[in-house]
Amino acid sequence: MLPGWTPYAIIAASVILITIGITRRLGPEWVWVNRKLIHFSIVPAIMMLYYNLIPREVFSAAAFVFCLAHIWPHVKKREFSWYQIEHNYGDIFFALSAAIVPMALPTGYATAVLLTMAVGDGVTGVIRYFYFKKHGFNVKLRKHWTGSLAYLITAVLIALTILESGPMGKISWAVVMTLAEYQPWIDDNLAVPLVGALIFLLY
């Protein structure tokens, strides 16, 4: 007999795979948007984790398998051109962080971090893409305050909904996470969960 979480895991995986299929149809010219759509597709799995419909061990194992599956195309220089970019390993870092966060942090807090990675980064990336496309700048290399503002708003909403803290604590958390996403030195798919974990350990 299959474990009770099996149907939920199948639904969560299906959403991700269907999204990958849709982005493939959109093609490489939408690569920067496609990456963010795939970020969004993990949200059902995150919420199933939050409501204990999927065990964190299963969530983490699936994310780690996803990570391994995306290393090979980079190694072989045969990236999935519609959402992978040569010399850009954000997709791997995202999946690796998604595998580690639920095992390293309490489920409620891990949910807030994961949602910020998926939804916050997704909204930010889409807004920045269309902003720079409209203004003729190189969307591959630049960040902009419009995207960071969207990230901050998203992070505040997530914090207010998920985190157990006072209003100022939640807003402060969102501000720090936004700064972690904006900084230029470490890929935000690593920086955001690392900073989120540090906040939890310190406070």
Q: What is the pLDDT of residues 54-65, one digit of tens each?
A: 999 999 999 999
The pLDDT of residue 139: 56
Nearest to 116 by CA among 182, 202, 24, 18: 182
Residue 1 has pLDDT above 80, yes or no: no
The phi-psi region of residue 87 (left if phi > 0; otherwise alpha if psi is between -120 and 50; otherwise beta) is: left
Angle between helices 188-202 and 90-104 (to 10 degrees): 20
Q: Is 143 exposed, middle or buried (0-12, 13-18, 19+ CB in 10 A)?
A: middle
| Residues 150-163, mean pLDDT to the nearest whole number | 96
The pLDDT of residue 35: 94
Length of the chain: 203
The pLDDT of residue 143: 76
Q: How many Å apart are CA 62 and CA 95, to the nearest integer?
A: 9
Average pLDDT, the chain: 92
DSSP 184: S
